[in-house]
Amino acid sequence: MKGTMIGLEVHVQLSTDSKLFCSCPTKGSDAEPNTRVCEICLGMPGSKPVLNKKAVDFALKVALALNCELNTEFFFSRKTYFYPDLAKDFQITQYEVPVGKNGFAEVDGKKIRLRRIHLEEDPASLVHESGARKSAYSLVDYNRSGIPLIELVTEPDMQSPAEARRFLDTLLTTLNYLGVYAHGASVLKVDCNLSIDGGSRVEVKNVTGFRAVEAALGAEEKRQRSVVDSGKKIEMETRGFDEASQSTYLMRKKETEEDYGYITEPDLPKVVVDSKWLSSVKAGMPELADSKKKRFMREFGLSEYDASVLASDKGLAQVFEETAKADAKIAARLVSRELAGILNYNRVKLGETKVNGKGISELVLLVKGSKVSDKNAKESLIKYVLEGISPKEFLEKNNLLIDVSSSDLEGIVKETVKENSSAFSEYKSGNEKSLNFIIGLVMRKTKGKANPKQVQEILGRLR
């Protein structure tokens, strides 16, 4: 069997206010280490976990959005291991019966199957003051211990690092629509499994960030290829990714799941999601990217490209919908092409800017009324993104609105024609360049405040 197979195990921190099994807050980035803790998330003897229903709601939403079969009855298990990031020496997770199974996500028209989605608690973070491999000691911060995670496990359906990256993009879009993920506050952590030509799979553990996932997979694919090319066999093992050298390194030969000695968590009752609970979760499901895209095409006549750019970002989609009333075609162009491009280019997220539907609507109306040139419209969007000045305000302040009255303009055109009679006669004999030359002169005289289309119209009348 030729080619690359990739399967991912993705860990996502859910944006609940409190932790999975206690009422400690999950947020407050300025909190000192080990201040958002209690006897439960510190694993003190005698403490008992209490399940956060909100986290289950979130996991159910994700499972529904990713087309999973739901298990409406499930329980938790203890995954035992000895490591200081878990004070109890076990992690509460799900093993036999996850919240959801057999789902899929559609990536560029292809189905990437999801084996399971389950809930578990995040371990503490270890702080190595001078890097993981050089520090003489490690500090443990239990603020993160007990924050709810979902783990999503895909089938090995991806065939390239780039496709894996697109899968993660699609996943993130869905999580953002659902509002279950603290965008920016946390990062996705991914275990990346890769094999080539039907060989053993290697797992690259704990890669954080999308770009790093793509790079780790790319490096591992290259390494395996060179091992195979030298006539050796790939061994099943667990590796790490080193950002600095952009290469993977051996951590350990792969342990099997049985080594963790899963047992049922006796301190938590079985969870039963009854039909009332389930319908309230379903009722809270928002319109997701794919149906939004189709609706934008149907309702506003957008091209598939524009519709998918807009729908792939909850914020852009919202800005577009708020401005579509002014003029759907112009709004689609300004938002999906200009605005999205400016955000991309400057690597800023819509949520970090002051851009909103009202500001864009004003610009759409100005463009619609031919009150602004395309160039200045774009300039005003850049200022809007980077400096937060609304386009209308920027254009007004800088005198960039087209506001020469038609009678004034007619006079200026006539004057220009008189001063440039040879260019005008060339234009009359059909010379396109002379036309543009005269329009350019008029635009200069009016300091760019005339509408070039109107100038051309007047010239047409004069010939």
Binding site residues, Zn ion, CB under 5 A = 22, 24, 38, 40-41
DSSP-assigned letter for residue 207: E
Give the residue with the Cβ less far from ligand ADP, 155 or 327: 155
* 26 interacts with, out of Zn ion, ligand ADP, none, CB within 5 to 8 A per kind: none
- DSSP assignment of 69-85 equals EE-SEE--EEEE---TT
- Please give the Cα distance from 105 to 171 (Å, whole number): 8
User: How near is the Cβ of 161 to Zn ion at its closest, in Å?
Assistant: 38
User: How near is the Cβ of 203 to ligand ADP at its closest, in Å?
Assistant: 7
* 77 interacts with, out of ligand ADP, Zn ion, none, CB within 5 to 8 A per kind: none
Q: Give the nearest residue (CB) to ligand ADP.
A: 7
8 binds ligand ADP (CB under 6 A): yes
* 24 interacts with, out of ligand ADP, Zn ion, none, CB within 5 to 8 A per kind: Zn ion
The token duo for 379 is 């300039």
Give the residue with the Cβ less far from ligand ADP, 7 or 357: 7
Give the residue with the Cβ less far from ligand ADP, 156 or 315: 156
The contact pattern for ligand ADP, residues 173-202, with x = CB under 6 A and - = no contact, is --------------------xxx-----x-
* 217 interacts with, out of Zn ion, ligand ADP, none, CB within 5 to 8 A per kind: none
Closest CA to 287 of 310, 268, 265, 305: 310
User: How near is the Cβ of 182 to ligand ADP at its closest, in Å?
Assistant: 24
User: How near is the Cβ of 230 to ligand ADP at its closest, in Å?
Assistant: 20
Residue 259 DSSP SS3 = helix
Give the residue with the Cβ less far from ligand ADP, 160 or 318: 160
Closest CA to 453 of 341, 378, 374: 374
Would you tell me how many other CB atoms lie within 10 Å of the CB of residue 289? 21
- Please give the Cα distance from 393 to 384 (Å, whole number): 10
DSSP-assigned letter for residue 68: P
Query: Is 65:178 a contact under the CB 8 Å cutoff?
Result: yes
Give the residue with the Cβ less far from ligand ADP, 170 or 308: 170
- Please give the Cα distance from 73 to 185 (Å, whole number): 31
* 309 interacts with, out of ligand ADP, Zn ion, none, CB within 5 to 8 A per kind: none
93 binds ligand ADP (CB under 6 A): no
Residues 164, 165, 170, 172, CA torsion sign:
positive
The letter for the amino acid at 8 is L
| Burial tier of 457 (Cβ tally within 10 Å: 0-12, 13-18, 19+) | middle
Give the residue with the Cβ less far from Zn ion, 23 or 303: 23
Segment 136 to 175, residues that bind ligand ADP, using CB under 6 A: 153-156
* 15 interacts with, out of Zn ion, ligand ADP, none, CB within 5 to 8 A per kind: none
- Please give the Cα distance from 393 to 369 (Å, whole number): 16
User: How near is the Cβ of 21 to Zn ion at its closest, in Å?
Assistant: 8
* 22 interacts with, out of ligand ADP, Zn ion, none, CB within 5 to 8 A per kind: Zn ion
Give the residue with the Cβ less far from ligand ADP, 227 or 273: 227
User: How near is the Cβ of 251 to ligand ADP at its closest, in Å?
Assistant: 15
Would you tell me how many other CB atoms lie within 10 Å of the CB of residue 427? 23
Query: Is 8:193 a contact under the CB 8 Å cutoff?
Result: yes
- DSSP assignment of 322-350 equals HHTTT-HHHHHIIIIIIIHHHHHHTT--G
218 binds ligand ADP (CB under 6 A): no
| Phi-psi map region of 82: left, alpha, beta (phi>0 left; psi -120 to 50 alpha) | beta
- Please give the Cα distance from 410 to 370 (Å, whole number): 17
Q: 163: which strand partners?
A: none
Give the residue with the Cβ less far from Zn ion, 12 or 37: 37
Segment 227 to 266, residues that bind ligand ADP, using CB under 6 A: 257
- Please give the Cα distance from 411 to 417 (Å, whole number): 10
Give the residue with the Cβ less far from ligand ADP, 132 or 263: 263
* 7 interacts with, out of ligand ADP, Zn ion, none, CB within 5 to 8 A per kind: ligand ADP
User: How near is the Cβ of 154 to ligand ADP at its closest, in Å?
Assistant: 5
372 binds ligand ADP (CB under 6 A): no
User: How near is the Cβ of 228 to Zn ion at its closest, in Å?
Assistant: 48
User: How near is the Cβ of 167 to ligand ADP at its closest, in Å?
Assistant: 11
The contact pattern for ligand ADP, residues 375-394, with x = CB under 6 A and - = no contact, is --------------------
- Please give the Cα distance from 441 to 452 (Å, whole number): 11
Query: Is 26:18 a contact under the CB 8 Å cutoff?
Result: yes
User: How near is the Cβ of 272 to ligand ADP at its closest, in Å?
Assistant: 27
Give the residue with the Cβ less far from ligand ADP, 108 or 257: 257
Closest CA to 257 of 81, 102, 89: 81
Closest CA to 442 of 357, 114, 427: 427
The contact set with ligand ADP (CB under 6 A) reads 5-9, 153-156, 193-195, 201, 257
